[in-house]
Amino acid sequence: MTLIKNQIPLYPLKFKPIYEYKIWGGRNLSQLLSEPLPDDGQIGEAWLLSDRDVHPSRVAEGPLKGLTIAQLMEQYQDHMMGVLARNYEKFPLLLKFLDVHKMLSVQVHPLDRQTDNIPEGGHGKTEAWIVLDAGPESRIYAGLKPGTTEKDLRQALKNESVADFIASFKPKPGEGFFIPGGTVHSLGKDVLVFEIQQNSDITYRLYDWNHIDLKTRKHRALQIEEAISSIDFDQEAEGPVVGKTESTVPVLREKIFDCKYFKLWRIQGELPYIVVNDGKPRILVCVAGRGQLEYKGVNYALEKGEIMLLPAIVGACTFTPSSAVNLFEIALPESDSEVNK
């Protein structure tokens, strides 16, 4: 689809999920998303909103159906980003659902300042998870135990005891975990999470639990030196995040994450509420229930497992649940936006 710049007015935008095979994945995303999974295979990720060149999200409905978010950012930069239009060339967040049946590799993402470990033009990767479902043996590993040194990790790699040096938690649905760049982490054994992160896909595997990729019949490659050099050894263990209640009427509004890369609130309730738009884009992710967003007299449906991006020009809208809903509302930061430029 080719457009003359700004030819079609923007509106609340839904995107088609992009499914990714992972050796640690399962089939549980079919319980969350209405878009059918590929016929077989271990599907570990559903990319909900991505401005990555390899997997660009495409508009699912309306006059702009089929356009990628990259095309929207190019043709509608001011209308998409509002007061942040000059801070971002690409949309700065990558949003996913993860179905981690086996254990994710023990891995590290670099910090923005660790430029030696970041390809030219890229940046670091800070991310966060909200647990949607967990099994009896589910685990989350987040951060080295106090006093752990590089020597300790190298020895642990030799005797396969890396997990002994990482703080671990039994996750519960609703809990949040914040994973700054430089943090050693992993999760798995039947845990379903929503993931929000910087628009980066840099991952260095430190240890992979001796997984065998069923497609290649081989172990996956490790990047031990890059992983170790990306670790922030001063980083403390990252336990569950306690949300801060900001309001209880007309809906329960809890702030879960607030960092220089993203802000995320959990919205729960049955009554209409205003989605504030203060000159910047907002994102809604529905993880339970359904509802409608009203904009210029038109209702835009939002179902369980779907995402909706409200461009800055859309302004404040009213979301009306059809029944009790659980939403994540996401905003970009007030300042420090230049880090993602």
Whether the Cβ atoms of residue 197 and residue 126 lie closer than 8 Å to each other = yes
Active site residue 290: no
Residue 279 has a CB neighbour count (10 Å cut-off) of: 12
Count of residues making up the chain = 341
223: closest CA among 210, 200, 201, 204?
204
Residue 111 structure tokens: 């910090």
Find out whether 154 and 197 touch, Cβ atoms under 8 Å: no
Distance CA 28, CA 109 (A): 26
Name residue, tokens 């209405």. Answer: 34
Sign of CA dihedral 70, 74, 78, 83: positive
C-alpha separations of 31 from 34, 101, 192, 196, 328 in Å? 8, 14, 11, 20, 18
Closest among 127, 120, 126, 166 to 143, alpha carbons compared: 166
What backbone torsions phi and psi does residue 303 show, to the nearest 5 degrees? -105, 165
Nearest-angstrom CA–CA distance, 159 and 216: 25
As given in the structure block, the two tokens for residue 18 are: 């992009």
Annotated catalytic residue: which of 205, 253, 266, 282? 205
Whether residue 324 contacts residue 288, with contact meaning beta carbons closer than 8 Å, is answered with: yes
**Is there a contact between 282 and 276 (Cβ–Cβ < 8 Å)?**
yes
Helix segments in the chain, DSSP class H? 69-75, 77-81, 150-159, 224-230
- Six-digit token pair at 23? 């050796």
Quick check: 49 and 307 in contact, CB under 8 A? yes
Active site members:
205
